[in-house]
Structure formats: structure tokens, C-alpha cells
Structure 1
Amino acid sequence: MAPDFLAVTPHATPTRELLAGAARRRGLAVEELSVPDGAASLRGRTGGHYYGGPAFAGRVVDDLGVALLEPSDSWLTDLPRAFTGRAITAATMAEARALVGPAFVKPPTDKSFPAAVYADGGALPDDPAPGTPVQIGEVVTWAAEFRLFVLDGEVRTGSQYASHGGLDARPLTGHRHETGALGFTARLLADHGETLPSGVVLDIGLIGERWAVVEANMAWFSSCYAADPDAALDVVLRSAGPAERIGGRDRVFRRRTPPT
């Protein structure tokens, strides 16, 4: 049987290089996909995994035989306020454009427009289309934000990635908020872990001194920041691996129609 491999997009990023290095250390081949050919040269090869953006994924996952796992669009809005720490509603871009005051507006899972605080609906970008799903959140101030790589309901590694809205990457291990972050995440996963894929990224943070969920993300398109790339790779491989290996509970989280 041919060995597994990790396919990565042509655009180099720090996380792509960290994950590629981790893959090579454990004996996985790393295949850089090309812009004109996508994954055509890898068609029919078994054991493929993927790391990269959703748009490029739409061109290559069929050739790679990869199943992409992602949280549902409604996951964050379905959470109780005890975990979100703020009001968040599901809406359309047309409804968001009708806002008359500031709000945090974001796509549910993809990155079709910048997630940000907008002064009002008129400040939103012209694209995407009016019917596009969005989430509208109460404006809050995050004292610190953390990214956690979760596999089978357990945090494998993590990193602070921001403080007071600015990039500030630090390892979670040994961090003064490590115990609080892991404790909050354990409670979240105990109550809502079954509503997430087995390989997923959770962003959490502090609103003042209160822990809350920022969002859930696709591990196959998430930056490591200061997390351990070897441990993060375990989560990435599960989140975007061979379709024939997908577990029963993960089938509902499979991305059905990647954008092209």
C-alpha cells in the first residue's frame, strides 16, 4: 500500500511550512499542488490529505479523494449564551446591510468577506450576494484569544493568537490562562462536542474575565500560530483525509460542495 501524503497549496504560509515539516518528520510525503494542474498528477493515488484554502480545495479534493470536515454554519448561533458570552444571530447579507448601528458581521465558516466590526450595514462589502448567510454578533472586546486544535473531543495543542485585538502569538503550554482555557473548553466539549467534527479548531477568548467561544473553524484551513505543529498535524490529517476512512459520526460534517 502506498504511504499517505499531505497535499498543500502553492501559496507558502508559515503554517503550511510548519505542517509540511511535521509531516516529513513522521514519514509522510508532501506534495505541492500547482496552479494550472491542481491535483491532476495525483489522481488515483491513495492516502491523500489536504491543507489549504477552501477555494483551491474545490479544484482538487475529488482528484485527491479527500473528505473535508467542517463545523455546521449554525454551530455558533445554536450555542447557548453561556458559551458565546454575547448575542449572535443568523441572518443574510441583505439583512446585515440594513443595520443602522455597529455590529460584528462574519461569514459562518468560509472567508468570503472579512469578519469585522462594521459601523453600519452600508460599510459592508458589495459582495457577496444579498442571500448569502452571515452571522451578526454583538460588539465585544476580547482581552485575549486562543486557538485550540481538538481531536476526538480532546485538545491536542493550542496557542494564544491575539490580545486586545492585536496579533500576539504565544504557546498555550505554560500560559497564565492555560488552566482556564482548557477548563472552559472541556466544559464546552462535554456539552456540545458531538455537534462538532472529530477534527476541528476552536477559537475561544476572554471577554473581560469571562471565557467565551469566538468561533469554530476547519482545521485544514487554520493557522497554527504558536501551537505545536506536530500535534496540530494530527488534527489537520483527520479533518481532511481519505474519504473512505471517514468515520460514521463525521459524515454529517463533510463539506459537500466545495466552492470553485
Structure 2
Amino acid sequence: MPTLLLTPRYTDDAQALWRAAIELGWDVERITCWDVPAHLLEVEEPVFYLEALMAPLLAEQFQRRLLEPPIDWLPKLPEPYRQRSIRLSTLEQARQIETAAFIKPPNDKSFPARVYTGSELPNGYPDETPVLISEIVQWEKEFRCFILNRTLKTFSVYLHEGVLQRDNHFAHSPEEEAALVEFVGEILADETIDLPQAAVVDVGVICDRSWAVVEQNAAWGAGIYGCDPTQVLEVLRHAAVSA
């Protein structure tokens, strides 16, 4: 039987997954310290939904490796799927940039992803810290997609014109759904695009351009917004592999 493993934070997403897991007959446990209790290490099928800070250490104690996208996944994505220029660099090199660009860590949230000039980048990080430097674009709307074995399992709009869609209950139109399914289907059918077994791919529409990939995220820590929590759990079952 799967056991959903959560951290102590009672977020809306964690609570939604907790309720869905209980309905499926799963066990649910919260890990409240850095050292996992011995009895939890013996569970038959650990399923992780964790915060980035704790995740690697906790998974290691279960002898599991969490699936994450390579840091150069987005820059290597074919341009028709990106619809903008993106390159992998280092914080040291990014500090030399005089014109503004959208700069972010590739996979974590160690500093805020936003528009910076080189002199505006935060201090206190090693020069070799990898960063993605992107052309500045405006997104009309953005969607989160949970993917398992190159199949779209569930999705949700999360931003429209930069505004979180929680107050709109993450609602989308049939036309938006049809366009999203078509675009994501093209990505999943393209065998040149590397994806882990369980992944989260954010997509959206760039103003005055077209549908494009925003980024790929690790499934085990991604917010679920209005996604079906039962389908999210099925993806999470495959978001870690034996170390």
C-alpha cells in the first residue's frame, strides 16, 4: 500500500492530497524532523510530496532518488516549443549583464525569478551558481500539467495576465483546454524531448506569439492549483526511483 509522506506544513495542496490519499485507502504520514523515524523507513511504498529544502535528505534515508529536470532542459528545448531565447549561465556571468533579462535558478527557488539587470542580482550566492537568462516576454496565461509516462494526467490554469486564478477557482474554457491538449500532445509525441517518467511541465501563451513551455518542474514538490489531486497522486507514485 502506498504511504503519502508530507512535511509539517499544512498547505492547501498538502491537505488536498491528504484527503485524496485517504479516499484511496493510502496511509498518510507527516515527517516532522530531519531524521526519519525508523518505522517510517519500513513502509512498503513511500510517495513523496515535500519541500525542496528537506526533500533530498529525506528521500535519501528511504534510499530513493527524486526525479528532477536537468538544469539545461529548458535552453535545450527546441525553439518552437520555447518561443523565446534562453541560455544557461552562472551568477558570476549574469552579473556582467547591463540590459535587463528574466533571470532565475534552473530548478529551485533559492532567489526570486524575475527581471534583473546584472547589478540587481542578489548577493550571498556562489559565483558558480547556475542561472537561466531569458528574453523578457509577457505571458497571457499559464497552466500546470502533471505528466506520467508522457501522458497528460491532469492540468490547471494558475496565472492569467500575471494574476493567480485561485479566486476564479482555477477555471478555464473548453477552447483553452482544447488548445492546451493539442500543444502538450505535440510535446509529448516528440521523442527528441527528454522527460522523466513523472514530470510537471508548465505551459502558456506568450502575448503576440503562441503557446510555449514556461518550464519543467519536479513533480514531488510542485503546487497543484486546480489539478485533480487523485491524478496528481498517481504521478507522485513515480516521482522517485531507487537510489
In 2, the alpha carbon distance for the partners of 1:52 and 1:193 equals 30
Match of 1:23 among 4, 17, 21: 21
**Correspondence list, 1:1-260, <5 A:** 3-35=1-33, 37-118=35-116, 120-169=117-166, 170-171=169-170, 174-192=173-191, 195-208=194-207, 210-240=210-240, 243=242
Deviations 1:104-162 (A, max 9, x none): 111111221111112x1111111321101110000000000000111111111100000
- Partner residue, 1:253: none
Per-residue deviation, 1:193: 6.9
Per-residue deviation, 1:38: 3.9
Query: Any gaps of 5 or more consecutive residues in structure 2?
Result: none
Overall identity of the aligned pairs, in %: 36
TM-score relative to the length of structure 2: 0.92
In 2, the alpha carbon distance for the partners of 1:33 and 1:84 equals 38
Query: Kindly tell me: are residues 47 and 143 of structure 1, through their superposed partners in 2, closer, same or farther at Cα, counting changes over 3 Å?
Result: same
Q: Contact (CA 8 Å) 1:69, 1:239: kept in 2 or not? A: yes
TM-score relative to the length of structure 1: 0.86
Per-residue deviation, 1:186: 0.7
Query: Kindly tell me: are residues 36 and 87 of structure 1, through their superposed partners in 2, closer, same or farther at Cα, counting changes over 3 Å?
Result: closer
Q: Contact (CA 8 Å) 1:205, 1:212: kept in 2 or not? A: yes
Counting matched residue pairs gives: 240
Classify the secondary structure of the residue corresponding to 1:238.
coil
Q: Contact (CA 8 Å) 2:146, 2:200: kept in 1 or not? A: yes
Aligned partner letter, 2:204: G
Structure 1 runs (4+) greater than 6 angstroms displaced: none
In 1, the alpha carbon distance for the partners of 2:131 and 2:106 equals 6
Deviations 1:181-223 (A, max 9, x none): 1111111111147501011001001012500000000011111
Query: Kindly tell me: are residues 172 and 82 of structure 1, through their superposed partners in 2, closer, same or farther at Cα, counting changes over 3 Å?
Result: farther
Per-residue deviation, 1:53: 1.4
In 1, the alpha carbon distance for the partners of 2:124 and 2:146 equals 31
Per-residue deviation, 1:173: 6.5
Per-residue deviation, 1:31: 0.5
Q: Contact (CA 8 Å) 1:42, 1:63: kept in 2 or not? A: no
Per-residue deviation, 1:174: 4.5
Q: Contact (CA 8 Å) 2:77, 2:193: kept in 1 or not? A: no
In 2, the alpha carbon distance for the partners of 1:28 and 1:115 equals 36
Task: Give the aligned CA root-mean-square deviation in angstroms.
Answer: 1.8
In 1, the alpha carbon distance for the partners of 2:102 and 2:37 equals 37
- Partner residue, 1:246: none
Query: Any gaps of 5 or more consecutive residues in structure 1?
Result: 244-255
In 2, the alpha carbon distance for the partners of 1:129 and 1:177 equals 41
Q: Greater CA deviation, 161-170 or 180-189?
A: 161-170
Query: Kindly tell me: are residues 66 and 28 of structure 1, through their superposed partners in 2, closer, same or farther at Cα, counting changes over 3 Å?
Result: farther
Aligned partner letter, 1:199: A
